[in-house]
Structure 1
Amino acid sequence: MTKPLYRLSILLLSLLLVSGCMAKESEMLGGPVEGYNHTSAAINRFTVNGAGGPRIGPYGEGGQVCCGSVPRYWRQGLRAIVEWERDPDPRGYGSWPETPFSDAWNKRMEKHRGNYTRHSVTVEIPQYQEAGTIKVHFLPCNQVRVSANNMFVGDPRYPYNYPRKMEDTECPKP
């Protein structure tokens, strides 16, 4: 083998080895999870595909918690499983006469917690061009919507610009 041919062979072999070591673009992306509660209940806790989200008071929004996971590229039939715990009377214990955290108060709180409800639903994630924050909207009638785009709530292109306060009788159409 001649010297130039030998060098060319080494160069081609090196390029082949290096290209095998290059990182492949990841299919899944990590992103923060945030929630929007459009109801009078409190969302004590929630998860999206197992990734936890923050507590959200009535008609409030929760800060971001890291991290959920969504595909880099949207695909038809993309869904999310949302599980949550709901307190239908989040301000009820504020008016109790018992001293907070006393035995009587703790007993009453245990009874109050008995009214919490737990829910689970699978929802579709609307099409996105660029994956971003995983946003969960809790709506009246235990309905939920999830988006995973790189838009902000309030942007006219955002798919779920619901009013901040919705009455429990206002069940959005699926």
Structure 2
Amino acid sequence: MNKKAVWLVPLWLLAGCAGAGYGDYTAGDLRAKNHVAGQGINRFGVNGYSAPGLGGGYCCVLLPRKWIPGMEVLVEWEVDPDPYAILPPLGTDLFREAYARHAAQYRRHSAVVPVPEYGEKRCGMTVHFLPCNQVKVTTVCMGYGTPDYPIKEPLNMPEPENCPVAQQ
């Protein structure tokens, strides 16, 4: 990891959305797209700023006003491998026991992800969750699926039987 990027993550963790629009940083919403069929994303975060599940408009992530070469972010997320599990009625002892067994299957992941170059116009950050616990991010303002959107992977991709081993 580049030395500038190593400092960037800790600085972002110390900053808060209260400083939005002040100094060298601006705040933007967190959004996400899950590209993996059959798994749910319970929650995710970027540099310590959390969002409950997928969708968009969750406040917030701080971005430097100017892109920094080698810039990276820390993405953390929790996966539910069986998001459509049928559980007993809520509030019962059976539910609590079944939910505890279900939640024990959740998996937590993290990845340091490069931030593509951006200019004056940026719209928060969208995190894309891909098969094999791969992640991409973008700060563009256009929506997923529009012709110039930079991330082209389709939704509902199957998880392969064998994922490539991550390189250190």
Please tell me the TM-score bracket, short chain as reference: 0.7 to 0.9
Q: Distance in 2 between matches of 1:145 and 1:36?
A: 10
What amino acid does structure 2 have at the position aligned with 1:125? V
TM-score by structure 1 length? Answer: 0.74
Q: Is residue 66 of structure 2 the alignment partner of residue 73 of structure 1?
A: yes
Larger % of helix: which? 1
Instruction: Trace 1:104-115 onto structure 2 (pairs within 5 A).
Output: 104-115=94-105
SS in 1 for 2:132: helix
Contact 1:35 1:53 in 2 (8 A): no
> After the TM superposition, which of the residue ranges 42-51 and 157-166 deviates more from structure 2?
157-166
Deviation at 1:53, TM superposition (A): 1.8
Report Cα offsets for 1:146-167 as digits up to 9, x if no partner.
1123333223332212212111
**Identity percentage of aligned residues:** 40
Match of 2:117 in 1: 127
Query: 1:64 is matched with which residue: 54, 57, 61?
Result: 57
Q: Distance in 1 between matches of 2:125 and 2:52?
A: 12
> After the TM superposition, which of the residue ranges 124-133 and 146-155 deviates more from structure 2?
146-155
Match of 1:118 in 2: 108
Deviation at 1:107, TM superposition (A): 0.5
Q: Distance in 2 between matches of 1:55 and 1:46?
A: 7
Structure 2: state its 5+ residue gaps.
Answer: 1-21
Match of 2:90 in 1: 100
Q: Is residue 82 of structure 2 the alignment partner of residue 89 of structure 1?
A: yes
Contact 1:70 1:131 in 2 (8 A): no
Which protein shows a greater Rg? 1
Aligned CA-pair RMSD? 2.3
Structure 1: state its 5+ residue gaps.
Answer: 1-24, 57-61
What amino acid does structure 2 have at the position aligned with 1:26? G
Which runs of 4 or more aligned residues in structure 1 lie more than 2 Å from their structure 2 counterparts after TM superposition? 98-101, 149-152, 154-158
Match of 1:136 in 2: 127
Match of 1:7 in 2: none
Deviation at 1:133, TM superposition (A): 2.0
Report Cα offsets for 1:102-128 as digits up to 9, x if no partner.
101210110111000001110001111
Match of 2:24 in 1: 27
TM-score by structure 2 length? Answer: 0.76
Q: Is residue 26 of structure 2 the alignment partner of residue 36 of structure 1?
A: no
The 1:149–1:26 alpha-carbon spacing in structure 2 relative to 1, beyond 3 Å, is farther
SS in 2 for 1:109: helix
